[in-house]
């Protein structure tokens, strides 16, 4: 496989999702809202997906895992813009239909399998201290596309392992089964693609996965090398995504007459991001 193939595959996934939306939801408004969500998902600053094959569980074999730098929280109510109007939509039914086709939208897990790692003074990866986990920089690293994808794969692998052990070890308590299931190693082949190259924190996680799962083949691809401009753009978009209309209103106040009149809410967001990225103090 190569980067060009992975990019083409990413667009094929979008087409497949749109097909599922059209076939499974008869309401035109629902279709429009869901497609707007997927469009915004794909237009995030970074997007990634993984294909997994040759696993021990048929329900995971040939599954697709997809993640976005914008929609990465566990919220099932997301905001989209349709015809220039922002509205919250419930995506639970959409996620359910996608999972029937083995397409998994990856979001932040409440109890992650992998700790956030950074390089220490000896250039070894070590766990980020608890006191640093909630600062804004670390918060964005916890929801990188690569991390969201491998966490979801691990979660599903453990889930199916629990189901298997419940049938074979019926006398054990569920807590014991979970402990045993989490010890089971991942196997098979994972091709993981992201728009931008993995950051150092994701690299640490991916290396840890390979070390802990010797039977797993993990291939990683990316399209772009992230430069400083891209990094600032990511931070600006993350701020917009987290605070949404509130931060736009704040910057409208700060920027005053600099914001052109007659813009849609989406255009106002884009203008604010542009001003943040290109701001240069005098």
User: Domain tally for the chain?
Assistant: 2
Question: Which residues does residue 126 pair with via DSSP β-bridges, in sequence order?
Answer: 118
Residues 86 and 202 in one domain: yes
pLDDT for res 250: 67
Residues 136 and 240 in one domain: no
Question: pLDDT tens for residues 193-252?
Answer: 998 889 899 999 999 999 989 999 999 998 877 665 555 566 666 655 555 556 556 666
Residues 92 and 217 in one domain: yes
pLDDT for res 189: 93
Residues 221 and 233 in one domain: no
Nearest-Å Rg of the Cα atoms of the chain is 20
Residues 171 and 257 in one domain: no
Which residues in the chain come in under a pLDDT of 70?
1, 170, 226-259, 266, 269-270, 272-282
pLDDT for res 233: 60
Burial environment of residue 121 by CB neighbours within 10 A (0 to 12, 13 to 18, 19 or more): exposed
pTM: 0.77
Residues 149 and 240 in one domain: no
pLDDT for res 172: 74
Residues 23 and 99 in one domain: yes
CA distance 69 to 118: 20
Residues 197 and 255 in one domain: no
Q: Which of 194, 207, 199 is nearest to 3 (CA)?
A: 194
Residues 72 and 206 in one domain: yes
Residues 93 and 208 in one domain: yes
Q: Give residue 281's domain range.
A: 228-282
Q: How far is CA 120 from CA 112, 114, 123, 137, 179, in A?
A: 22, 17, 5, 17, 30
pLDDT for res 226: 65
CA distance 122 to 197: 24
Q: Which two tokens stand for residue 203?
A: 């690299």
């Amino acid at each position: 496989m190569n980067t060009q193939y992975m990019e083409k595959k990413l667009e094929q996934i979008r087409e497949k999702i749109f097909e599922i939306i059209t076939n499974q939801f008869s309401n035109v408004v629902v279709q429009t809202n869901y497609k707007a969500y997927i469009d915004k998902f794909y237009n995030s600053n970074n997007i990634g997906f993984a294909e997994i094959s040759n696993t021990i569980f048929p329900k995971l074999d040939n599954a697709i895992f997809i993640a976005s730098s914008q929609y990465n929280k566990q919220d099932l109510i997301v905001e989209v813009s349709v015809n220039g109007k922002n509205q919250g939509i419930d995506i639970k039914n959409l996620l359910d239909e996608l999972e029937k086709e083995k397409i998994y939208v990856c979001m932040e897990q409440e109890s992650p399998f992998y700790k956030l790692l950074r390089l220490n003074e000896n250039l070894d990866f070590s766990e980020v201290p608890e006191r640093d986990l909630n600062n804004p920089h670390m918060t964005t690293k916890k929801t990188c596309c690569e991390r969201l994808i491998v966490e979801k794969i691990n979660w599903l692998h453990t889930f199916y392992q629990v189901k298997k052990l419940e049938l074979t070890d019926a006398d054990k308590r569920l807590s014991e089964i979970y402990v045993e299931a989490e010890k089971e190693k991942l196997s098979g082949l994972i091709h993981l693609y992201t728009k931008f190259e993995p950051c150092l924190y994701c690299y640490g996680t991916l290396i840890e996965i390979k070390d802990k799962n010797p039977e797993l083949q993990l291939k990683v691809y990316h399209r772009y090398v992230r430069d400083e401009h891209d990094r600032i753009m990511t931070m600006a978009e993350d701020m917009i995504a987290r605070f949404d209309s509130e931060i736009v209103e704040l910057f409208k106040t700060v920027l005053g007459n600099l914001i052109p009149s007659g813009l849609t809410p989406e255009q106002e967001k884009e203008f604010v991001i542009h001003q943040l990225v290109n701001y240069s103090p005098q």
